[in-house]
Amino acid sequence: MPWVLETMTPVFIGSGSDPATPLDFLVESNGTTLRFVPFEELVQELVQALDDPSPLLQWMERQTRPTLRDMLDQPWADPCRTAVSRFPPIPLFTTQSPSGISEVARFLRDGMQRPYIPGTTLKGALRTALLYDFLINSSNQNPNFLPNLLNQMSQEEGQARRRNRPFRAGEWFERQVFRGRERDTTGATWDILRAISVADSAPIRPQRFFVGEVRLVGSQRTLSVFAEALIPGCPIQVQPVRTPRDQTQALSMMQSRRHAWDEGWTDLLNGGWVVVARACYRWSQDLLEAEIDHWQWLARQPSGQSVASDVLSRLQELQKHNQEDRPLLRIGMHQGALSLTIGLAIRKHGGPNSEEYRRWARWVVRGNRPVSGQSPKTRKAIYFRGRWWPLGWVRISKVASEG
């Protein structure tokens, strides 16, 4: 069944590629718009247009920090100035001088350079929501569930350390919940989330994007980052989002009873997206509550108060939009982190000052530094239309069936 993602706040999904440099974008003289211009494509056109390309080559050899603006100011760059107008202007929002922008992180694109939201991004968010839901359910049924799981994790980590092998706590938690011991015909371990299929979104129109300043709040370290992000209020259809009708293999795998809580997964397989939506609602509800608490704490710190005030009002508004049949999710880079989801479940079960939560937080920060109930302390916000916004919040809902 098709689902629609609606962006509730700006959304950024990184491409993993190097950010655009001043050779790849041009801030317009009005200071409020920016154009992304493929530099290599521009140079090819210029070389073809010039009878003698030596001025271009000499200019490139002289520059230590070349910029597209500087190249366009050269007398031989008339063909470039004409070509730049082909690329659409994108709104730019910043509290700094636009001339100081040195890099811009681009939104993910497909092979034809069209922005889109990959199915893996949405499925990753669904995965963390389901993980959270089952950790909470299991803890409600057995108060010793999470402490016992943490003890088991510590033993596994100790064994890995003695064998000089890497150990990733978040991935270990996932395996305990999602993996079965049986293997399919290909020899791969059966992961219960293979029962959910999520397609990539259709390409998204460039008019739905802007470039905004991203600020790190709660740290003495300054962060000067700009990102190309989706504007709030964009509906994006994702199709198909479904669970398979043939659940024989999954239900057969559940009969192995690897874990006492395996039976709960039959609810997912039988209930399909009703169970998924309920898990997303619970995860978002508790995450928003924790985020509001944290931003209230940040608002009391000496710096970042104006940013925190803006973000707080947005998060409180998001709480009103979270519904069990139309739940919110947080997607994009660093927005649905596995360690955050597990930490949220431990904190919800035992409280921010519980030994279990402090223990997990110490594991996440990888050191012996003191850990408080506010750990980790930093958050990111993006500047858009004169205000600061949280990143990555979307709402998912079903497409109404025809007829």
Residue 11 lies in a domain: no
Nearest to 376 by CA among 310, 297, 314: 297
Residue 2 burial (C-beta neighbours within 10 Å; 0-12, 13-18, 19+): middle
Count Cα atoms within 13 angstroms, Cβ side, for 368.
0
Claim to verify: residue 54 and residue 148 sit in the same structural domain = no
pLDDT at position 8 is: 97
Given 47, 72, 89, the domain boundary residue is 89
Claim to verify: residue 337 and residue 287 sit in the same structural domain = yes
Predicted confidence (pLDDT) at residue 282 exceeds the cutoff of 90: yes
Rounded Cα–Cα distance for residues 394 and 300 (Å): 28
Q: How confident is residue 83, by pLDDT bands cut at 50, 70 and 90? A: confident
Chain CA centroid to CA 270, Å? 29
286's CB contacts (< 8 A; 6+ apart) are: 132, 344, 348
Residue 81 lies in a domain: yes
pLDDT tens, 295-353? 998 888 877 788 999 999 999 999 999 999 899 999 987 655 788 888 899 988 888 88
Claim to verify: residue 73 and residue 123 sit in the same structural domain = no
Count of CB atoms situated within 10 Å of the CB of 392: 26
Predicted confidence (pLDDT) at residue 263 exceeds the cutoff of 80: no
Instruction: Tell me the two tokens of residue 326.
Output: 């139309």
pLDDT tens, 360-372? 877 776 644 444 5
pTM: 0.87
Rounded Cα–Cα distance for residues 189 and 340 (Å): 25
Predicted confidence (pLDDT) at residue 272 exceeds the cutoff of 70: no
Lowest mean pLDDT among 15-19, 116-120, 178-182: 178-182
pLDDT at position 251 is: 47
Q: In which domain, by residue range, is 45 found?
A: 25-89
Residue 10 lies in a domain: no
Q: Are 192 and 250 in contact (CB under 8 A)?
A: yes
Claim to verify: residue 57 and residue 154 sit in the same structural domain = no
Rounded Cα–Cα distance for residues 351 and 191 (Å): 31
Residue 11 DSSP code: B
Tell how many helices (H) and how many strands (E) occur in the chain. 13, 15
pLDDT tens, 32-58? 999 999 888 888 888 888 878 888 888
pLDDT at position 124 is: 86
pLDDT at position 371 is: 47
Claim to verify: residue 314 and residue 253 sit in the same structural domain = yes
Claim to verify: residue 161 and residue 77 sit in the same structural domain = no
Instruction: Tell me the two tokens of residue 291.
Output: 């985020």
Claim to verify: residue 126 and residue 273 sit in the same structural domain = yes
Residue 126 lies in a domain: yes
Instruction: Tell me the two tokens of residue 175.
Output: 């395996």
Work out how many domains the chain is built from and give that number. Answer: 2
H or E element: which one contains 241?
Answer: strand 241-242
pLDDT at position 335 is: 59
Residue 102 lies in a domain: no
Backbone angles phi, psi at 181, to 5 degrees: -85, -20
Claim to verify: residue 320 and residue 274 sit in the same structural domain = yes
Claim to verify: residue 69 and residue 124 sit in the same structural domain = no
Predicted confidence (pLDDT) at residue 281 exceeds the cutoff of 90: yes
H or E element: which one contains 21?
Answer: none
Residue 186 lies in a domain: yes
Count Cα atoms within 13 angstroms, Cβ side, for 123.
18
What is the DSSP code string of 250-311?
HHHHHTT--STTTHHHHHHHHHTHHHHHHHHHHHHHHHHHHHHHHHHHHHTSSS-HHHHHHH
Instruction: Tell me the two tokens of residue 372.
Output: 């408080």
Nearest to 315 by CA among 348, 281, 284: 284
Q: Are 240 and 118 in contact (CB under 8 A)?
A: no
Mean pLDDT of 28-35: 92
pLDDT tens, 199-229? 889 899 999 999 999 998 887 776 778 999 9
Instruction: Tell me the two tokens of residue 248.
Output: 């024989």
Rounded Cα–Cα distance for residues 168 and 196 (Å): 25
Q: How confident is residue 387, by pLDDT bands cut at 50, 70 and 90? A: very high
Residue 286 lies in a domain: yes
Predicted confidence (pLDDT) at residue 266 exceeds the cutoff of 50: yes
Q: How confident is residue 157, by pLDDT bands cut at 50, 70 and 90? A: confident
pLDDT at position 257 is: 42
Claim to verify: residue 258 and residue 155 sit in the same structural domain = yes
Q: How confident is residue 254, by pLDDT bands cut at 50, 70 and 90? A: very low
Residue 125 lies in a domain: yes
Claim to verify: residue 302 and residue 195 sit in the same structural domain = yes
Claim to verify: residue 156 and residue 254 sit in the same structural domain = yes
Predicted confidence (pLDDT) at residue 184 exceeds the cutoff of 60: no
Backbone angles phi, psi at 269, to 5 degrees: -70, -35
